[in-house]
Amino acid sequence: MDVELDEIEWLIGPDGLALLAEVTRRRDRDEPELRVLEDLRTRGGDRRRAALLLDAAEARRRARERWPDAERIVLLRSALEQASDPAVAARRARRFVDAAGPVYDLCAGIGGDSLALAEAGVEVVAVDQDAARLRLLEHNARVRGVDVRTRVGDVRQIARPAGSWVHADPGRRQGDRRLRRLGEYQPPVPELLAAHQDAHGVGVVLSPAVDLHDPDLPDGEVEFLQVGQQLTEATVWLGAARDGEALASATLVPHGDRLVRRGPPVPPQLGDPGRYLVSVAPAAVRARLHDDLARQLGARRLSLARSLLTSDDRPPASPWYRTRWIEVILPLRPRVVKAWLRSADELPLEIAVHGLEADPQRWWQELGRPPRGPVGRRLDLVRTESGGMAVLSTAEDRSPGPG
């Protein structure tokens, strides 16, 4: 919901905070939103304030998994959806610790990145056109015990010292639509960079699905950040914020494992299936580093159009890939796969599709609806240069081992 500055002032005041804690407790007990809303209104609250309390309560409940201090800070649902994962923001802030003078956090919103920068010891100036969100940022900074200066204005026109550093997180949504092209971001990335071309170091947050051939993608280092198995964000680093001459990099959060590519991608090598199936971390795939890993492991691709690798020898343990033992390679025919499954140990089955127009739900039905689950056996339906194959594999610890 769109929120006015005076509404935020009320929400972060003593009355608003007390009601927010109450509404959050009631929603935690699964009281329906409508009942809570009606109760707030009968107690003298107006419609907008009641709706704001519900919005902030739901944001707090959703934030608990990622934000360790969700019960202390105040968030809004729309802002939370746009905010970076706190672990990602903390990792990204490390690029700015050597900045001389303040870092200007543009399109700051509720300030997840501003707070991470401040907590890393960086002097921060948060800039946004939305005064209400910046007021929320000031409140949350005070709760966390860090100092963040704020300025309301157009990030393309804001005055700052030449040579200072810039972090920017432009909007990547328009209503319910995700914006893919950098020229559609709000503000457009080319305009943002043109306005701050004298910055000493720049980091701009992008969608992890950014088109690496987008004509508006500047020459720099594109870093892909992954939390667990989820690819969450990309950042393009320019100037002093770039890691030397890096072209692309992949980072696993929160541990910080990192791979860097400083030249063109390694040419792929195609080969027949071996004993093991190797699924590379999405961040390494997006950074075009999976063929580097294949070369290091003595592995090869199953298909030139896919990132799945295969090897004859068991690869060493690594956070950059998951290894499974290949039980059998079958044709892409449900009847054949179903017959094989009947002869094998019954395990939960996960189905993954790679480059094929295949419906996993329909395959599951045609296989006789076997028990489902990510821990057990996996069926990979893979498009190859010769057509396709069905690869059945199990977890690495079920492998018979070398020999």
What are the helix (H) ranges across 244-333? 282-286, 290-297
With 0-12 CB in 10 A as exposed, 13-18 as middle and 19+ as buried, what is 57?
buried
Q: At what angle do helices 14-28 and 33-42 cross, to 10 degrees?
A: 150
Look at residue 82 in the predicted model and tell me its pLDDT. 83
Look at residue 285 in the predicted model and tell me its pLDDT. 97
Tell me which amino acid residue 249 is: S
Give the other-Cβ count within 10 Å of 101's Cβ: 14
- 276-398 under CATH 1.10.405, yes or no: no
What are the phi and psi torsion angles at 332 (to 5°)? -80, 65
Instruction: Map out the domains of the chain as residue ranges.
Output: 5-61, 83-261, 276-398
Q: Which residues contact 55 (CB under 8 A, 6 or more apart)?
A: 1, 76, 77
Paired residues of 324 in beta bridges: 277, 395
Q: Are 347 and 377 in contact (CB under 8 A)?
A: yes
Strands 103-106 and 165-168: parallel
* CA nearest neighbour of 73 among 149, 144, 4, 5: 144
Q: Are 108 and 127 in contact (CB under 8 A)?
A: yes
CA atoms within 13 A on the CB side of 114: 31
- Taking phi over 0 as left and psi of -120 to 50 as alpha, with beta for the rest, 138 belongs to alpha
Q: Alpha-carbon distance 191 to 189, whole Å?
A: 5
Options 3.40.50.2300, 3.40.50.150, 3.30.160.40, 2.60.40.1930; which CATH number does 83-261 get? Answer: 3.40.50.150
Q: Alpha-carbon distance 284 to 244, whole Å?
A: 19
pLDDT by 10s per residue, the chain, length 403: 688 999 999 999 999 999 999 999 999 999 999 999 999 888 877 889 999 999 999 999 999 988 989 999 999 998 888 888 999 999 999 999 989 889 999 999 888 999 999 999 999 999 999 999 999 999 999 999 999 999 999 999 999 998 899 999 999 887 778 888 999 999 999 999 999 999 999 999 999 999 999 999 999 999 999 999 999 999 999 999 999 999 999 999 998 999 999 999 999 999 999 999 999 999 999 999 999 999 999 999 999 989 999 999 999 999 999 999 999 999 999 999 999 999 999 999 999 999 999 999 999 999 999 999 888 999 999 999 888 999 999 986 555 555 4
Look at residue 295 in the predicted model and tell me its pLDDT. 96
* Structure token pair of residue 27: 């929603």
Helix (H, G, I), strand (E, B) or coil at 82: helix
Starting at the edge strand found earlier in the chain, the sheet holding 387-395 runs 300-301, 309-311, 276-280, 321-330, 387-395, 377-384, 349-354
Buried b (16+ CB within 10 A) or exposed e, 347-376: bebbbeebeeebeeeebbeebeebeeeeeb
With 0-12 CB in 10 A as exposed, 13-18 as middle and 19+ as buried, what is 166?
buried
Q: Which residues contact 246 (CB under 8 A, 6 or more apart)?
A: 221, 237, 260, 261, 262
